[in-house]
Structure 1
């Protein structure tokens, strides 16, 4: 996928095991360092380490980040459509968009962590059924965003994460402005080819969809910028997304990615 977009660095700040004061300090430091996009995740419990460890909710924290920052785009990577009524989720995103002055990226997904569903009282359905819910939610979210008064500050970019070739990438082709991908360059090449076919089927130019690639942290493949960066860039990735975990939030690798971005 060819693109004329500039390269951007995103940080997914994972809100587990940390005091909120440390999270707030890391948010400020990320903006000072020049991060382009700040993400969190939409879970209710830590994904690793102490299962009873500290943790904070996605959207209330995003509202606080919207007030505490002035330049970075921000959003969930990704918000599960099974946790909130889709119309309510659209309204929440619109509200945070206004708090931020028009900087929200609306990341959406179907959810996967069983504990989030069971302990918060949501029905634990199958992965296919959760994709059904996401498929139904996307038009509702789009319609609610169009009906709200006031509307979002800008046309809010929608991000969809995942690589399911039959269904998820078809949703990306129909609805997304950004596709968040996982896996190594060979996997990304295969998935991007599938996405191009889905775009052709719905009459959409795949160049309209920005590609976000995971470059370290959590379940994503880690790699030094000079090794992984050019490979992903040549495959069309322009948003390089790095995860960082609490409680200490070591930003050493983030600094290397920012320096690599600036050298291009």
Structure 2
């Protein structure tokens, strides 16, 4: 018996139902069902050499839930989706995993539009996008693309994403924002949050309270700044 990356136990090659490593938690469904792709065979030829055979999910490890077939899960149904994209083409060639590029190159404009509708970020009211591992620029850009679509989100968690500047992002309905453990150095780098009530900025690198006055025009009730350098500023509490 072998334990796959998704936590499922597989026995030899008799287990053919593939589960994507990108599967997310369905927040609204009372009975959570697995998301199954239409092609359940093993498409790739590259896998961990320590394993005697490739895991059933190996060929789907870089696919998001939108790329899997035979399901109608929408973005606003997900509470903790993993939105980090797969490696770049150059990195896949270096890893000798170029077989995963075939599906990417065959995507049509119609499929792109269908994917946008399926993501449905515009209708998300509560979302957790923490721990996304945004190590490359194209990952950060994809992440910001999604943030720009969150026009109705009210509660948003962006913990530990190495974020530095979201000043170009506007979250018009956000009431609760958690951006703990990022790399913000100023309030001016935060997104536009006119309706914010609870803001948590713990464990960032905010050295000055400059820009905090912008929050006077919001219905802010609580602000968490623990473990930021600004705590050592003279008259910190008073300011």
Q: What's the TM-score once normalised by structure 2's chain length?
A: 0.34
Larger-gyration structure (1/2): 2
Higher normalized contact order (CA 8 Å, seq sep 6+, divided by chain length): 1
Bigger proportion of residues as helix: 1
Bigger proportion of residues as strand: 1
Q: What's the TM-score once normalised by structure 1's chain length?
A: 0.32
